[in-house]
Amino acid sequence: MWNQILTLFSDYTFQIVALGTGFLGLLSGVIGTFATLKKESLLGDALSHSALPGIGIGFLLVQSKELIVLLAGAAISGLIATGLIHLMSRKTSIKFDNALSLILSSFFGLGLVIMTHIQGSSNAQQAGLDSFIFGQASAMLIRDVRLIAIVAVIILLLVCLFWKEFKLFTFDPDFGRTLGFSERVVALTMSTMIVLTIILGLESVGVILVSALLIGPAVAARQWSNRLSVVVIMAGVIGFISGISGTLISSIGTRIPTGPSIVVVLSGFVLISLFFSPKRGIIAKQSAYRKQKKSIEQQLQVLKEGQGK
């Protein structure tokens, strides 16, 4: 078992896929923290599904699986969906969650129609295009890892540069507006970063599961700390470990898909955090409740004894 694991870590293909999924998990954890704290975690789900028609249209334009073109189409489609969601929730009587559901289903349905049309064509280049729906991390190449690493560095630098603004509009947007900051610019920057993160994860995790990679690390990390900086760092670490561990499980097993393996590992982190975190965990809360109940019972017993005397 251990010899097999050591052999895997020296395998070039495994190193490429593990680095790609690890960097993707790190980036998703950091960006997903802000979306989760702003209670817009479902935005990632809507954007991931809305990227599908962009992938299909990108393929129809060039008639080949040029990754840059497909991801560019997915990014444009995701940004359009983001704009429509915010426009509908702010300018109409439609609530944010209703707008999310409508855009998610509409864009995903359109994407499936386009994908079905492409797969019915005679173009041999369309083979494997449906991997964007469920993900196919094993097909990741060194150029894909470079692209993920470059975009991750740029996004993380933006997070560091605009840390105060992101933190301010995450917790108190009204105060941020009184200070003269543009909420529209901050929201657009954050939405663009979320879209880019989702687009990068489409190839490895797929449209359906990429939202879990965006939300899971933040949910797990939030159970352990109340400080934003600590939560962001922990979410990045959890995402990184989940990416590498999921890839390892997929490589050791037989015909186990990488994307679902990553999500399963991530779900384990979430469950452990929900139960065993020292302050917010279910076990800790139950223990505190029992101690409080015992203390109240003791106080009542003392009062009864005092009244009896």
Residue that has been written with the tokens 């880019």 in this structure: 196
Distance CA 127, CA 64 (A): 10
Listed in sequence order, the residues at least 6 apart from 229 whose beta carbon sits closer than 8 Å to its beta carbon are none
pLDDT at 252: 83
pTM, whole model, 2 decimals? 0.82
DSSP 64: S
Residue 157's pLDDT band, with cuts at 50, 70 and 90, is very high
| Pair 134, 206: CB distance under 8 Å | yes
Give the range among 148-152, 270-274, 299-303 with minimum mean pLDDT.
Answer: 299-303
Question: Using an 8 Å Cβ cutoff, are 53 and 107 in contact?
Answer: yes
> Which pLDDT score is estimated for 65?
72
| pLDDT average, residue stretch 80-106 | 82
Local confidence band at 1 (pLDDT 50, 70, 90 cut-offs)? low
Q: Which phi-psi region, left, alpha or beta, contains residue 273 (left: φ > 0; alpha: ψ -120 to 50)?
A: alpha
Question: Is pLDDT of 79 > 60?
Answer: yes
pLDDT in tens, 20-30: 888 888 998 99
Please report, for the chain, the start and end positions of each structural domain, with discontinuous segments joined by +. 2-213
Please name which of 35, 39, 1 lies closest in space to residue 253, comparing C-alpha atoms. 1
In the three-class reduction of DSSP (H, G, I as helix; E, B as strand; rest coil), residue 65 is classed as coil
As a whole number of angstroms, the distance between CA 23 and CA 98 comes to 33
Burial of 58 (0-12, 13-18, 19+ CB in 10 A): buried
* Torsion angles phi and psi, residue 194, rounded to 5: -65, -45
2-213 sits in which CATH class?
A: mainly alpha
Task: Out of 96-105, 121-130, 192-201, 239-248, give the one with best mean pLDDT.
Answer: 239-248
Where are the alpha helices (H) located in 38-130, listed in sequence order?
41-50, 52-62, 67-91, 96-119
Q: Mean pLDDT over all residues of the chain? A: 82
pLDDT (0 to 100) of residue 268: 92
- The pLDDT assigned to 131 comes to 67
What is d(CA 277, CA 216) in angstroms, rounded to the nearest whole number?
15
